[in-house]
Amino acid sequence: MLRAVEAELLDASGRREEALAVYRTLKRGDPEDLSPSFMSAFTLEALGRYRVAAAEWRYIIGWTTMATRLNKHSPGKRHPDIGGVREPEA
């Protein structure tokens, strides 16, 4: 949590490359937390690095699409591959 705040403060103060380094560390620490990916995409856009930002957005869209498909038949339950549990199969 504190690292995320640190990254946001670095970004807000114009130290965007340092912020990106912290976001990378956060993404490695918890791949299921998409917040660092979102923030990285915004920071990359601010730096004019649109192709890399677009790759970040594609990752976010792909992850959320996968999560939606895995949970489609089990509303209220999360699939183990995305960090939760799913109902036992009959």
At 20-46, the pLDDT tens digits run 999 999 999 998 899 999 999 999 999
- Which candidate, 10, 14, 38, places its Cα nearest to that of 22? 10
Q: First CA to last CA across the chain, in angstroms?
A: 39
Q: What is the pLDDT of residues 47-82, one digit of tens each?
A: 999 999 999 999 999 988 888 877 765 555 554 554
- Domain spans of the chain, in order of start: 2-72
Q: What is the pLDDT of residue 51?
A: 96
CB 43 within 8 A of CB 8: no
In words, the CATH class of domain 2-72 is: mainly alpha
Backbone Cα Rg of the chain: 16
pTM for this structure?
0.74
